Amino acid sequence: MEQFFATLGIWLGALFTFAIFSFLYKDNPFYKTAEQIFVGLSAGYWSVYTIFFILIPNLYEPLTQNFNANWIKLIPAILGIMMLLRLIPKIEWVSRFPLSIVIGTTSGVFFLRYLKSDVLNQLTATMINPFLGESWVIVIGKIMLIIGTICGVVYFYFSKKHIGALGVSAKIGIYFLMVSFGAAFGYTAMARISLLIGRLQFLLGDWLGIIQP
């Protein structure tokens, strides 16, 4: 029986893959059906997951098993219910309170972390002696890092017209930005092709058995 369901799963996977791929030719009922089933399944899966793996273990069980030690969890529970009240137009305004707490807390926590990791540590990482390197390639890399960082930041300085030395630096900054956009495009192309490779490895391996899965 287990084998039967495993095989059925592989066949369904293959058929749905083709149904989704068929959109590349043009929109059609097979694609539409696969899309709707995916949306429905996802909604059902996440509803069940949220109840059984988030609400029950994190709220229901602690409250029912040891209320005295966990009563504080009632506060987020009430805030959660208040958030859901935005579904009732007359008392929609109540949801603003939990929302404001979420926004305030998140910005407070994130501000400190991002300031340290993305500003201070990143800046410190560029304050280096570029001539201390094992090879000339590393030295050039370090020099490029410093020039790229400074010129990139200069490009985003808008309080003075980009002319003269500032204009040249900004122009160099643009070139560095262009290179980074190119790298980002390259990585994105690689990622998308990787997804196709994954699907084809499934079709040719698990489904058809032509290659080793």
Partner 1 sequence: MGKAKQIDRRWLFLLIFFGVAFPLIFTLGLPLETTKNVQMVYDLIDNMPKGSKALISFDYDPASMPELHPMAKAIVKHCFDKDINLIFTAMWPMGVQMADDIIYQLKDDYPDLEYGEDYVNLGFKAGGMITIQSMGKNFREVFPKDMNGNNIDELPIMEGINNFSNIGFVFSLSAGAPGIKEWVQIAHDAYGRPTSGGVTGVSAPAILPYVNEQQQLTGLLAGLKGAAEYEILLKAPGTAISGMDAQSAAHLIIIIFIIIGNVNYWRNKKAEKMGGK
CB of 189 to partner 1, least distance (A): 6
Nearer to partner 1, 75 or 168 (CB): 75
- The crossing angle, in degrees rounded to 10, of helices 2-21 and 29-49 is 130
CB of 159 to partner 1, least distance (A): 25
- Which residues form the interface with partner 1 (CB under 8 A)? 24-25, 49, 53-54, 58, 109-110, 113-114, 116-117, 121-122, 124-125, 128, 180, 183-184, 187-191, 193-201, 204, 210-212
CB of 113 to partner 1, least distance (A): 4
Nearer to partner 1, 43 or 125 (CB): 125
Nearer to partner 1, 53 or 157 (CB): 53
Contact present, 82 and 92 (Cβ < 8 Å): no
Nearer to partner 1, 61 or 92 (CB): 61
CB of 180 to partner 1, least distance (A): 7
Contact present, 30 and 19 (Cβ < 8 Å): yes
Question: Alpha carbon of 65 to those of 51, 57, 71, 77, 120: distances in Å?
Answer: 17, 11, 11, 16, 45
Nearer to partner 1, 134 or 163 (CB): 134
CB of 72 to partner 1, least distance (A): 13
User: For residues 150 and 138, what is the distance between their CA atoms, to the nearest angstrom?
Assistant: 18
Query: Nearest Cα to 203, choosing from 11, 43, 29?
Result: 11
Nearer to partner 1, 25 or 158 (CB): 25
CB of 19 to partner 1, least distance (A): 15
